[in-house]
Amino acid sequence: MNEILSQTSLFAIFLTLCAFELGRWLQKKTKLSVLNPILTSAIMIIVFLLITGVDNSVYQEGAKTFSWMLTPATVCLAVPLYEEVQILKKNIPAIIAGVAAGTVSSLGFIALMSWLMELDHSLYVSLLPKSITSAMAVVLSEQMGGLASITTMIIVVTGILGSVLGPIFCKIFRLNDDISAGVAYGTSAHVIGTSKAAQISELMGAVSSLSLVVAGILTALIFPLFV
C-alpha cells in the first residue's frame, strides 16, 4: 500500500481536500467554533492513516505539493490590506499602536514564561509566533529552528480560543467600540479571530483583518530579537 501510494501525490491532495470539506461541513452543521476544519480534518486524516497503515511520511511527501502556495497566498494579503487602509485611514495610528503593543507583549510574555518554566529552545521558538497567521508563523518558526507542526497546532488552538472567548473578553476588558475590539481579535487570534469579528460587524472584521497583517509584519521584523 505504502509503495503504491508513494507513487502518486494526488492521494495526499485528494485525502486532504475531502477531509477539509467534511470538516467544514461539520462546523457549518454544528455551528461550533471549536470544530475548526483544520483541526477536525487533521484528526480525520491521522485516524485514516492509522487504520490503513499508510505512513505519515508517504502522506507528507504528497502533501508537499501544497506547500509552494503558502508564500504567494501570504503575499496576496496585501490586497485586503490595501483596501482596509483606504477605509480606516483616519484610525491607522491608533490601530498600529494597539497592534504593536499587543505584539511586543505577546513575544515578551512568551519569552518570560518559557524562561521561567525552562522550556526547550525549539519548543520556545515554536510557541513564539502563536498569535499571528500560520502562513507567516510557520516560516518564522522553521527559520529559527522551531517545529512547524507544533506552531501550526498552537496557532489554531489560539485562534479558536480567541474567537470563542472574544465576546467575554470584550466585556471584561470593556472593549465596546468596533475598532478596539477588532484590533484585539486580529492581534490575538489572527484569521480565526477575524472571521468571528466579521460576524459581529463589518467594520470590526476589517479592523481585525488589517491588524492581523500588521501583527504578522511586526512579529517578523522583531522576531530575531527574541530568539
Site for another protein in 116-175 (CB under 8 A): 117, 119-120, 123, 127, 130-131, 134-136, 138-140, 143-144, 147-154, 156-158, 161-162, 165-166, 169-170, 172-175
Interface with another protein includes 187 (CB under 8 A)? yes
Q: Which of 5, 11, 33, 37 binds another protein (CB under 8 A)?
A: 37
The interface region with another protein, picked from 2-10, 25-33, 181-189, 197-205 by CB under 8 A, is: 181-189
Per rule CB under 8 A, is residue 94 in the interface with another protein? Answer: yes
Q: Taking the CA of residue 209 as centre, how many other CA atoms within 13 Å lie in the half-sphere pointing to its CB?
A: 23
- For another protein, which residue of 113, 121, 145, 171 counts as binding (CB under 8 A)? 113
The interface region with another protein, picked from 1-9, 27-35, 197-205, 210-218 by CB under 8 A, is: 210-218
- Cα 208 vs. chain centroid, distance in angstroms? 13
Grid cell of 217 as nine digits: 509584519
Distance between CA atoms of residues 158 and 25, nearest Å: 22
In the complex, what is the shortest distance from the CB of residue 7 to another protein, in angstroms, rounded to a whole number?
A: 18
> Which of 67, 115, 167, 199: binder of another protein (CB under 8 A)?
67
Residue with cell 477605509: 87
Nearest to 101 by CA among 211, 200, 189, 10: 211
Region near another protein per CB under 8 A, out of 3-11, 26-34, 198-206, 208-216: 208-216
Question: Which bin fits 177, alpha (ψ -120 to 50), beta or left (φ > 0)?
Answer: beta
* Contacting residue, 5, 38, 204, 206, with another protein by CB under 8 A: 38
Q: How far is CA 170 from CA 129, 175, 177, 189, 193, in A?
A: 23, 5, 9, 13, 13
Alpha-carbon distance 216 to 158, whole Å?
A: 15
Instruction: Output the nine-digit C-alpha cell for 48.
Output: 485514516
From 3-11, 26-34, 79-87, 198-206, give the range in contact with another protein by CB under 8 A.
79-87
Q: Which of residues 2-31 bind another protein (CB under 8 A)?
A: 12, 16-17, 19-20
115 in contact with another protein (CB under 8 A): no
C-alpha cell at 70: 503558502
Q: Give the Cα separation of 39 and 69 in Å (integer).
A: 20
